[in-house]
Amino acid sequence: MTTSNYATERETTEGKVFTVTGGDWDQVVSGTDPINDERIVVNMGPQHPSTHGVLRLILELEGETVREARSVIGYLHTGIEKNLEYRNWVQGSTFVTRMDYLSPLFNETAYSLAVEKLLGITDDITERATTIRVLMMELNRISSHLVWLATTGMELGAINMMLYGFREREYILDIFETITGLRMNHAYVRPGGVAQDVPEDAIRKIRDFLKLLPKKLKEYENLLSGQPIWIERTKNVAVLDVTACLALGVTGPVLRSAGLAWDLRKTMPYCGYETYEFDVPTHPDGDVWGRYEVRLAEIRESLKLVEQAVDRLAKPGPVMVADKKIAWPAQLAIGVDGMGNSLEHVAKIMGQSMESLIHHFKLVTEGFRVPPGQVYVGIESPRGELGVHAVSDGGTRPYRVHYREPSFVNLQALPAMAEGGLIADVIAGGASLDPVMGGCDR
């Protein structure tokens, strides 16, 4: 005779009735339930609205607890790195800007710095061009962090934060459009400098934005920082201490939220960052709350940098290297058809000499030659260390360009943050890494 592992049962006129006796629930279940240790596998994505892009997470669950987490990438693969081998060095800027689509200007700047290092013209880049690069990158850092704040707020229940974050980001995209002609994917930072100077109306818009955003940041903090649900969903959730960050190669706000003030703008300066006054915010706890605090503080530091850069632009100067063998032969003008070569400049080239016209034609179609060699350049993007390994064989096209993409590297930390926690905290932890799959897959 076999005995049931479950409660006794009997048939009644109302149907089957079970009799459950007393006892500690954990003991009763673990001792008698044959499916107590059974686990289920859940696919979160690749279309899940809370995965910051086309990311697939395979979660092995025991009840609400995540026992194993695996990240699956590649759903947004574009082959950009391979495509660069079939375009000249200047055209590469148009491709790399589309990698991490939330911080395109960082992709362009890192690429341009690498090409300039191969050319040996790093010290020839004009002061104004370098200042404009800093200005654009810091505005881009603010816009990227605003998107993080907006989307993470929505995922954790603060729907209003989604609206406010994107509303303020629109101011920055409007500034970018005024300067570059485009809201995203600008191809504005190019080897040798930048495509065109910053117009006066853009300076006015930036100064207005510098007055507006500090007030808005206080509103965000009033909305979130004292909110019991926000605190409960972020404090002591998805903890990753500094040892784990270093072991996994995690950089950026996630590393700084664990207490280590590692910021390439300070530790390995580029673009003259050593001449600017700013701090590197850190937080001791290494949780989602710490990453929230660090990113808010970074927005404030970026506002300081933007103000200093704008003040420096009062002094006029060229925005491209003087060497006509490298400088992109364009005088860009925003006209009725958008952004393109100014007709006056085209007429000047056509009227100068046949040699000038041939040079212009060859530089645009074939591009300049880069001496053989390889370099690595790293910069501090909104998500961490964005590195470019560029290799030249002496031709007009890259032999190889490989990006050290922070989204790709930081995503390794997700299992370490998620396993042993609740499935609901996978969303908070994954969002706090701020991965952008366009950069991760590229």
pLDDT tens digit string along 193-232?
Answer: 998 899 999 999 999 999 999 999 999 999 899 889 999 9
Residue 300 — pLDDT band, cuts 50, 70, 90?
Answer: very high
Residue 189 near residue 108 (C-beta atoms within 8 A): yes
Distance between CA 265 and CA 285 in Å, rounded?
23
Q: Say yes or no to pLDDT of 330 above 70.
A: no
In contact, 108 and 191? CB cutoff 8 Å: no
- The residue count of the chain comes to 442
Q: Which amino acid is it at 23?
A: G
What is the pLDDT at residue 32?
52
Q: Per-residue pLDDT for 168 more than 80?
A: yes
Nearest CA to 174 out of 207, 138, 219, 206 is that of: 206
Q: What pLDDT was estimated at residue 13?
A: 77
Above 50 in pLDDT, residue 1?
no
pLDDT in tens, 419-437: 888 988 999 998 899 899 8
**Beta pairing, strands 40-44 & 400-404:** unpaired
Under the banding of pLDDT at 50, 70 and 90, the label for residue 302 is very high
- Give the model confidence (pLDDT) of 63-112 as tens digits: 888 898 898 888 888 899 999 999 999 889 999 999 988 999 999 999 99
Q: Is 1.10.645.10 the CATH number for 80-326+368-441?
A: yes
Is residue 439's pLDDT more than 80? yes
**pLDDT, average across residues 327-350:** 63
pLDDT in tens, 19-33: 655 556 565 555 555
Q: What's the confidence (pLDDT) of residue 25?
A: 56
> What pLDDT, on the 0 to 100 scale, is given for residue 6?
54
Average pLDDT over residues 147-163: 90
Q: Write the Ramachandran bin of 63: left for phi over 0, alpha for psi from -120 to 50, otherwise beta.
A: left
pLDDT digits (tens, 9 = 90+) for 352-390: 777 777 777 888 888 889 999 999 999 999 999 999 999
Judged against a pLDDT cut of 90, whether residue 263 lies above it is answered with yes
pLDDT value of residue 336: 56
